[in-house]
Amino acid sequence: MSSLPNGTTKALTNAVLAAQTTNDAAGAPVQVINEEKKFTPDLSGYISSWGLAEAGFNYDVVAVFGSQSTGKSTLLNRLFGTSFDVMDETHRRQTTKGIWMCRGKGMNVMVMDVEGTDGRERGEDQDFERKSALFSLASSEVLIVNIWEHQIGLYQGANMGLLKTVFEVNLGLFGNRGSEGMSQRTLLLFVIRDHVGSTPLANLAQTLQADLTKIWDSLSKPPELADRHLTDYFDLSFTGLPHKVLLPEKFEAEVAELRKRFLHRERDDYVFKPAYHKRIPADGVAHYMEGIWEQVQTNKDLDLPTQQELLAQFRCDEIATVALEQFTAQAKPLRKPIESGHVLEALGKSMRSWKNEALARFDRDASRYHQGVYHRKRGDLVVQLHATLGPLFLGQLKNLHKLALANFKREVVEGVKGDGYDFGELVRKSREKNEGEFVAGALEGLVEGTDWTYEEELDLLRQEITVIADQCRADETKKMINHIERTLKRQIAEPIELALNKAVPTMWDSVLRVFTDTLGKATATYLIKAKSFNCTEEENTASLNILRRRAWQALRAKVDEQTSDTSILAKLRSTFEDRFRYDENGVPRVWKPDDDIDAAFRKARDQTLELVPLYAKIQPVDTSLEVSLPSDGGDELLAGEGEFDFAATLVVFSESKQVDLVAKFRRDADAYYVEAKRSIVSSVSQIPMWIYALLVVLGWNEAVAILFNPIYFAVLLTTLASAYMIVKLHLVGPLMNITQAIGGEVRRQATNRLREHFSEPQLASPVTVRNRDSTRSDDTDDEFRVRTERNVTFAAQ
């Protein structure tokens, strides 16, 4: 048997790992401790390759002790199916160096072949005997002591030295651990080789036992352990094997029988009793043994509980790391979608399942170790798991918050698009739904055992929803006010127009009555709708003030429209006309020369001018109809509605505007006056009846001449016939038009010629009179009339 060169250990390990041993195969042996007393770094890999890493406590460790070349390796190979090197018969020299280990074939057993230290080379390295005994006792359940039959009874023999070492070491390891130490028993299985049979096994066992007691008693024990017996720590068992060379078949049969004691749990003499187990989980064996050897090597006191605790810490950390790695790999893919704002379905379920999986993995492997360490490390792992999951939960909360807020906003905005919605109800329902969804999502994301809460985020969400709801409500209120305002404008337009067209002293009363009634209805409409908005008193007051102001402004706009220069002048003209051109019965007047046009004109004009001050200010006769609104500065809530001075809005025309209107109207009235005068002149210029009589007298001769002259008479008849035809064919109208057009043109041409010839002044039309009068504002009415009369007379001539 040879040790592995250092450089090749890794390569070998890999090769061995690659060729994973099946459960039934023995696997390759490994030199755990080499000649240089170095512990192999590959043991863990070998244990894995033997398929024992996952065995937990379901494995056993057995070591063999004995003199060199006493057939230990041979025995182990037979018993466990291992492949330890066996000495070549022809050389007879030591083959096993250090400590080797191999897995038993078809059994979860780690078999240790320990270098024999007695005999020729015992003096060379007595130190190793003690160390290997310590190492084997700390890790094995069963020590097979291989002994030749002929050596029994030889108290001074090499075996006895070895056994003394074993007892001393055991006392050091377990002696001072009280009942716990005694419960940690080890089986010493003495295999008596080349048992001839002449001395019965029982006698041999008795002799051996006596020797062992003698050795035990000879140990220098601390006073507190003085009364301890060998059997307090060891179980002893004895078996004999026939000579391998002389009785090979019997030897093989006995070995096979002995093998059964290692295999069959149900047997009473089953070797691996639970009490012997060192309770080191299989996956920690390599590390544990390494720690033990390190302590042994450095000659430090080997404190097994500390070693087990250290092992537990190391392994629990390793197991936690593996569990955490797998857990992190599961959680990692979700980090990105959460960071990019997605709400993940069933995140809590996934997180809980990853956590449980990780803890289950940890528990499965780590719970076999020192319980105190295991629980502490489990706590640490849970903290780490929660720390990894925490950001996911917080991210999910944030995303749920964002989603709820966006949904709320969308639902409210869409809800108010339709008709017949109840804003308050809409907000309440949407708030309830989205807050509910947030809470459900948050609850789903909670992981047991954490101190995570979602209340803070929920409070924040509630606040933000309230802000949005307030904003929407403000928008809706504005919309509603605008709608009410439009309706109000429509409703007041016609009645106000009618009232303003009826220029009576109570005109403003009618206007303001309409206004007040309509505003009253609008206010009532607002208040009904505002109820569902959950508006505060303050908001309602502000909105109503806005509504009143807007209504007033609408009224004022209508008044302005109806009192624009054109409209007001039209109204004045129409009033004047009614009074001047129509009599009391509403019949148009035909002025006669005897009529007192001047007086009628003055009366109508003055009455009309009285309307200007009436229109100039919004002032009802009935003071109870007066409206009063706060001006700017009176109400802070109306800020942003533009400048407003209520008193100023009552004034329709300023003083100067009134003067201007009066002047304009006077000019129009003057034109009517001129027109009236002219109508008298035209009636005066009619031809008197006596002229017609004179014409008959003077034209009698010509008439007789025509009647009695056949040619003239024929012409007359033709003319009459033509006239008859024209009448019959309805051509009078068209003929008249043509004649008038020709006549008009001839007259125009003639007039122009005459004007040119005489350079006579032209008759002023009412329009030109008006234009010229615009430069004569300070002329008195009488002067103007005298001049106008002169013009009219001239025109008549």
Residue 220, both tokens: 């220098």
Hey, which residues between 11 and 50 contact ligand GTP (CB under 6 A)? none
Interatomic CA distance for residues 531 and 406, integer angstroms: 26
Q: Are 618 and 629 in contact (CB under 8 A)?
A: no
Q: Which is nearer to ligand GTP, 74 or 308 (CB)?
A: 74
193 in contact with ligand GTP (CB under 6 A): yes
Q: Work out how close the CB of 121 gets to ligand GTP at its nearest, in angstroms, rounded to a whole number.
A: 10
- The verdict on whether residue 72 carries a ligand-binding annotation is yes
247 in contact with ligand GTP (CB under 6 A): no
113 Cβ contact partners less than 8 Å away, ≥ 6 residues apart: 29, 63, 64, 72, 73, 76, 82, 84, 96, 99, 100, 101, 102
Residue 190, both tokens: 């003495």
Interatomic CA distance for residues 511 and 499, integer angstroms: 6
Q: Which is nearer to ligand GTP, 2 or 58 (CB)?
A: 2
| Residue whose beta carbon is closest to ligand GTP | 71
Look at the block and give the residue holding tokens 């964002």: 402
Among 7, 36, 89, 777, binds ligand GTP (CB under 6 A): 89
Q: Which segment (93-101, 259-267, 531-539, 737-745) binds ligand GTP by CB under 6 A?
A: 93-101
- The verdict on whether residue 69 carries a ligand-binding annotation is yes
Q: Are 569 and 664 in contact (CB under 8 A)?
A: yes
Among 95, 159, 430, 788, binds ligand GTP (CB under 6 A): 95
Which neighbouring-strand residues pair with 225?
Answer: none
Q: Work out how close the CB of 122 gets to ligand GTP at its nearest, in angstroms, rounded to a whole number.
A: 12
- The verdict on whether residue 66 carries a ligand-binding annotation is yes
- How many angstroms separate the Cα of 106 from the Cα of each of 222, 242, 661, 769? 44, 25, 127, 139
Interatomic CA distance for residues 403 and 434, integer angstroms: 8
Q: Are 573 and 668 in contact (CB under 8 A)?
A: yes
Which neighbouring-strand residues pair with 237?
Answer: 189
Q: Which segment (85-93, 156-164, 519-527, 681-689) binds ligand GTP by CB under 6 A?
A: 85-93
The dihedral formed by the CA atoms of 323, 326, 330 and 331, expressed in degrees to the nearest 10 = 60
Among 96, 139, 184, 295, binds ligand GTP (CB under 6 A): 96
Hey, which residues between 53 and 72 contact ligand GTP (CB under 6 A)? 68-72
Interatomic CA distance for residues 33 and 101, integer angstroms: 9
Q: Which segment (243-251, 347-355, 524-532, 701-709) binds ligand GTP by CB under 6 A?
A: 243-251
Q: Work out how close the CB of 21 gets to ligand GTP at its nearest, in angstroms, rounded to a whole number.
A: 23
- The verdict on whether residue 71 carries a ligand-binding annotation is yes
Hey, which residues between 414 and 433 contact ligand GTP (CB under 6 A)? none
- How many angstroms separate the Cα of 516 from the Cα of each of 280, 500, 519? 98, 16, 5
Q: Work out how close the CB of 116 gets to ligand GTP at its nearest, in angstroms, rounded to a whole number.
A: 4
Q: Which is nearer to ligand GTP, 87 or 461 (CB)?
A: 87
SS3 419: coil
- Total residues interacting with ligand GTP, rule: CB under 6 A: 19
78 in contact with ligand GTP (CB under 6 A): no
- How many angstroms separate the Cα of 303 from the Cα of each of 250, 291, 300, 308, 696? 44, 11, 9, 9, 170
Q: Which is nearer to ligand GTP, 71 or 175 (CB)?
A: 71
Q: H-type helices in 416-506, by residue range?
A: 423-445, 455-501
- The verdict on whether residue 73 carries a ligand-binding annotation is yes
- The verdict on whether residue 68 carries a ligand-binding annotation is yes
Q: Which is nearer to ligand GTP, 194 or 670 (CB)?
A: 194
Hey, which residues between 276 and 295 contact ligand GTP (CB under 6 A)? none
Residues 172-191 vs ligand GTP: string with x where CB under 6 A? --------------------
Q: Work out how close the CB of 314 gets to ligand GTP at its nearest, in angstroms, rounded to a whole number.
A: 33
434 in contact with ligand GTP (CB under 6 A): no
Q: Which segment (82-90, 232-240, 334-342, 651-659) binds ligand GTP by CB under 6 A?
A: 82-90
- How many angstroms separate the Cα of 211 from the Cα of each of 48, 410, 547, 600? 41, 96, 119, 166
Q: What's the angle, vertex CA 284, arms to CA 282 and CA 285, rounded to 5?
A: 65
- How many angstroms separate the Cα of 391 from the Cα of each of 337, 338, 379, 446, 731? 13, 9, 19, 12, 105
Q: Which is nearer to ligand GTP, 87 or 323 (CB)?
A: 87
Q: Are 515 and 628 in contact (CB under 8 A)?
A: no
245 in contact with ligand GTP (CB under 6 A): yes
Among 194, 283, 290, 476, binds ligand GTP (CB under 6 A): 194
Largest CA distance in the chain: 208
Q: Work out how close the CB of 139 gets to ligand GTP at its nearest, in angstroms, rounded to a whole number.
A: 19
Interatomic CA distance for residues 518 and 496, integer angstroms: 11
Q: Work out how close the CB of 267 gets to ligand GTP at its nearest, in angstroms, rounded to a whole number.
A: 24
Among 86, 324, 629, 795, binds ligand GTP (CB under 6 A): 86
Q: Which is nearer to ligand GTP, 193 or 261 (CB)?
A: 193
Q: Which is nearer to ligand GTP, 114 or 554 (CB)?
A: 114
Q: Which is nearer to ligand GTP, 78 or 529 (CB)?
A: 78
HEC secondary structure over 227-251: CCCHHHCEEEEEEECCCCCCCHHHH
268 Cβ contact partners less than 8 Å away, ≥ 6 residues apart: none
Q: Which segment (87-95, 159-167, 552-560, 654-662) binds ligand GTP by CB under 6 A?
A: 87-95
Q: Are 286 and 318 in contact (CB under 8 A)?
A: no
**Residue 719 belongs to what H/E stretch?**
helix 710-728
Q: Which amino acid is at 143?
A: L
Q: Which amino acid is at 536?
A: T
**Residue 388 belongs to what H/E stretch?**
helix 371-415
DSSP 83: -
Q: Which is nearer to ligand GTP, 87 or 351 (CB)?
A: 87
Q: Work out how close the CB of 245 gets to ligand GTP at its nearest, in angstroms, rounded to a whole number.
A: 5
Among 243, 259, 513, 589, binds ligand GTP (CB under 6 A): 243
Q: Which is nearer to ligand GTP, 243 or 556 (CB)?
A: 243
Residues 110-149 vs ligand GTP: string with x where CB under 6 A? ------x---------------------------------
Query: Where do contacts with ligand GTP occur on this chain (CB under 6 A)?
Result: 68-74, 86-87, 89, 94-96, 116, 193-194, 243-245
- Residues at the binding site for GTP are 66-73
- Residues at the binding site are 66-73
